[in-house]
């Protein structure tokens, strides 16, 4: 890959080693050569792809979760989300995660967008979906480290919560704003 003047931009990876590995992610250290020939190190977080689900009930309420987030030391309010299983397609994962975390089953699931939220330091890929006609007819199946409270909320109230820093989960914020900007008129 080159810039507009034909100067190469891609880094050459010389070596790769896992510096830390746990069940949710790994930290990888690479020795790289920059386009100007400089050799340096670069650390990256690698994790499975994830899904985020904006789930509407038949009466247009949004299914919302509250979950403790150790990294920030507080309970966060947001949308159901989770990682893909090996060889699982994102739409299947969205349906599964919605049911596992909330007990809601979607009548219809459609893709919204796919983003790389932290591509300066992680290989994270988040697939955002909107689910319609969601009903609490499934069985929750939380992971051992999940403690989730489920509720429903008014869509416009959630958008307002973003404006006053009452909904700070970045995945959820992006999903709501993307839907509002590009898909919301279809509601």
Helix (H, G, I), strand (E, B) or coil at 99: helix
Read off the pTM: 0.90
- Is residue 110 located within the same domain as residue 166? yes
Q: Is position 1 within any domain?
A: no
85 and 170 part of one domain = yes
Q: Are residues 116 and 174 in the same domain?
A: yes
- List, for residues 31-56, the tens digit of each pLDDT value: 999 999 999 999 999 999 999 999 99
Q: Does pLDDT of 2 surpass 70? A: no
Q: Which residues contact 127 (CB under 8 A, 6 or more apart)?
A: 49, 50, 51, 52, 90, 93, 94, 111, 114
Domains in the chain, number? 2
Do 128 and 108 lie in one domain? The reply is yes
Domain span holding position 104: 50-186
pLDDT in tens, 141-176: 888 888 899 999 999 999 999 999 889 999 999 999
Same-domain pairing of 38 and 55: no
In a shared domain, residues 137 and 114? yes
Q: Which residues of 17-49 are buried (b: 16+ CB within 10 A; e: fewer)?
A: eeeeeeeebeebebebeeeeeeeeeeebeeebe
Any idea what the CATH number is for the domain that residue 63 is in? 3.90.79.10
CA gyration radius, the chain:
19
Based on the fold, state whether residues 152 and 168 are members of the same structural domain.
yes
Is 29 in the same domain as 99? no
Based on the domain organization, do 141 and 162 belong to the same domain?
A: yes
Based on the fold, state whether residues 58 and 30 are members of the same structural domain: no
Based on the domain organization, do 54 and 35 belong to the same domain?
A: no
CA atoms within 13 A on the CB side of 140: 14
Any idea which residue has 């909320």 for tokens?
A: 153
Task: Note whether 62 and 39 are same-domain residues.
Answer: no
Angstrom distance (rounded) from CA 116 to CA 86: 19
Structure confidence at residue 6 as a pLDDT band (50, 70, 90): low
Yes or no: say if 101 and 172 are a contact pair by the CB < 8 Å rule.
Answer: no
**What ranges make up the beta strands (E) of 49-144?**
50-55, 61-69, 74-78, 81-83, 108-115, 126-132
């Amino acid at each position: 890959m080159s810039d507009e003047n034909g100067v190469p931009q891609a880094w050459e990876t010389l070596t790769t080693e896992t510096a830390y590995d746990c069940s949710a992610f790994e930290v990888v250290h690479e020795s790289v050569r920059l386009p100007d020939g400089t050799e340096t190190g670069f650390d990256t977080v690698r994790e499975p792809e994830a899904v985020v689900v904006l789930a509407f009930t038949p009466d247009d309420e949004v299914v919302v979760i509250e979950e403790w987030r150790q990294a920030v030391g507080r309970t966060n309010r947001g949308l159901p989300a989770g990682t893909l299983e090996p060889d699982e397609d994102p739409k299947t994962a969205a349906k599964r995660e919605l049911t596992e975390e909330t007990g809601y089953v979607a009548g219809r699931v459609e893709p919204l967008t796919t983003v790389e939220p932290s591509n300066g330091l992680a290989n994270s890929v988040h697939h955002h979906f909107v689910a319609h006609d969601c009903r609490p007819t499934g069985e929750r199946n939380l992971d051992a480290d999940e403690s989730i409270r489920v509720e429903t909320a008014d869509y416009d109230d959630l958008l307002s919560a973003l404006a006053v820093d009452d909904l700070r989960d970045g995945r959820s914020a992006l999903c709501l704003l993307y839907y509002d900007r590009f898909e919301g008129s279809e509601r």
